[in-house]
Amino acid sequence: MAPPAVGTGTLRRLSELHTGRHPVLSVYLGLEGGRSLEAAVEVRERELDGVIAGIEQGTMQAEVGRLHEVLRCMPPLAHGTRSLALFSSAQGATVAAVPLPSPIEPLAVIDTLPWLEPLAGIFTPGDHAVAVIDRHAGRLFRGAPRMLVEYATVCDRHHHRPALGDCTQLRGSCPTQEDPAEHARRLAELLLRAHRRRAFEELAVVAPSGLWPAIEAALHRDLRSRLTALVDLELIDASVQEIAHAFSRHARSGRAAHPACSSSTRPPLAGAISTARHATILALPESTPEHALTAAAG
């Protein structure tokens, strides 16, 4: 049986899991070879219990039970499978299991989105981080200057706070204003989680300059010490090639652009910004990345 095939389509499919805005339980399990199917299932179930014991499960019992059921019903895994990614949400109504060809340390995460950063680490050995942020959304990447992998897309339009205004009108709602600090904290938490699993070498943030103070204040000191660039560009809806180009240009410049030498001093990217975001891996055409796995687009 051929090794498991994992490609950009896998990441895209998992990022689009229909969760109905319910929390998502993401679990990564290591696999030991040389066992019978029954013994392997027992080991995986014990590992699942061990991994989730370290997190606040709250109302996720249905999701945990659904993952146990998935493990018991799973057919024999292909030769070459080194780890297993499991996702469950909406009380187990949404579930996915993905055999992986590379080892991943056991991990369990509860969040509002599937946690895909360990998968990004399979696609690229690079440990550069790029965060593309605007006032309502953020896109997070791991990789190298010529090959980045997007592992999280966050929309935080609910981060608003009450604003001064007239709330006395019948059926009227109190006005609100954006809370960039809360939005920045949410993205900083995700970056720190990824960094603690596998440390970033450096971090570049692409965001309007008005957001820079909130972003820097939200970053953990371990990330702040790796912040090498604050780039004043609006790229939240940019194509993957444009974001890769912006980061590659920053990397080639060799500037410590934090923040006095910021890339905001450079001219903006030429050409219109595309809204195409289907490719998850960012790679310039001339790059020839080496894949440590069977990369199938599906």
Q: What integer pLDDT is reported at residue 157 of this predicted model?
A: 62
* pLDDT for the residue numbered 122: 87
**Higher pLDDT pick, 50 / 140:** 140
Instruction: Look at residue 296 in the predicted model and tell me its pLDDT.
Output: 28
pLDDT confidence of residue 279: 36
- Write the pLDDT tens digit of every residue in 10-42: 888 998 887 877 899 999 998 765 455 567 788
The pLDDT score that the predictor gives to residue 128 is 94
pLDDT over 60 at 138, yes or no: yes
CA–CA distance, 124 with 135 (Å, rounded to integer): 29
Ranges in the chain annotated CATH 3.30.420.60? 122-283
pTM of the full structure: 0.78
Going by the DSSP 8-state scheme, the letter that residue 206 receives in this structure is E
pLDDT at residue 177 is higher than 90:
no
> What residues contact residue 218 under an 8 Å CB cut-off, 6+ apart?
181, 184, 185, 187, 188
Cα angle 205, 209, 210 (rounded to 5 degrees) comes to: 120
Looking at 3-127, list the stretches that DSSP marks H as alpha helix, in order from N- to C-terminal side.
Answer: 8-15, 37-52, 61-73, 117-123
pLDDT tens-place string over residues 260-282: 344 443 333 322 232 333 334 44
Q: How far is residue 211 CA from its own chain's centroid?
A: 21
Quick check: 150 pLDDT over 50?
Answer: yes
pLDDT (tens digit per residue) in 42-94 = 888 888 998 888 776 666 888 889 999 999 998 888 778 889 999 999 877 88
Residue 114 has pLDDT above 90, yes or no: yes
Give the phi and the psi of residue 178 in degrees, each rounded to 5: -65, 150
The CATH architecture that domain 122-283 belongs to is 2-Layer Sandwich (3.30)
Q: What is the CA radius of gyration of the chain?
A: 21
| Residue 91 confidence (pLDDT) | 78
Question: pLDDT above 70 covers what percent of the chain?
Answer: 71
